[in-house]
Amino acid sequence: MAELPPIVDLRQSATALRVQRGVMRMLREVYDMACYAEVPLRNGRRADVLGVGPKGEIWIVEIKSSLIDFQVDRKWPEYREFSDKFFFAKPPELDAAIFPESEGLIVADGHDGAILRNSPDTPLNPARRKALMLKLARMGADRIHLLMDPRPK
């Protein structure tokens, strides 16, 4: 396997990391989004990928690397209150039919991704958007600092 990015926390499978890379590349290149991986949310959940668009729109992407991964994880409705759009992302070999038709769907590999089904718009509460944007700004700066100076606090 290729060298891992320095901010990977080793909880993700190799398949999930490939899907994450493709999703983030697609969001950046096609939608001009700044992307964050593994974002802790106020409700205790952790977004696999969170993208912030040029107008402040927030998309959350939940990566599912296998059928069993999807079947055992039912927390995904809890991401809606933290995003304007919610998507599942899957590797090419995983059957798209397992995902709810009511949700957005992305297919991705280690090179790029594509939206198979768009997500409905669910506008974020303005106060929550502000709090989340502040959290993302601080988290982004902290991650850069850790890459530049890996000494513990």
pLDDT digit string, tens, across residues 67-83:
999 999 888 899 999 99
What is the chain's pLDDT, residue by residue, as a tens digit (153 residues)? 445 444 555 567 889 999 999 999 999 999 999 999 999 999 999 999 999 999 999 999 999 999 999 999 888 899 999 999 999 999 999 999 999 999 999 999 999 999 999 999 999 999 999 999 999 999 889 888 888 887 766
Are 122 and 84 in contact by the 8 Å Cβ rule? The answer is yes
Q: Residue 44: CA atoms inside 13 Å, Cβ hemisphere, count? A: 1
Query: 71 in helix, strand or coil?
Result: helix
Element holding 50 (H helix, E strand): strand 46-52
Query: 41 in helix, strand or coil?
Result: coil
Kindly report the number of other CB atoms within 10 A of residue 118's CB atom: 12
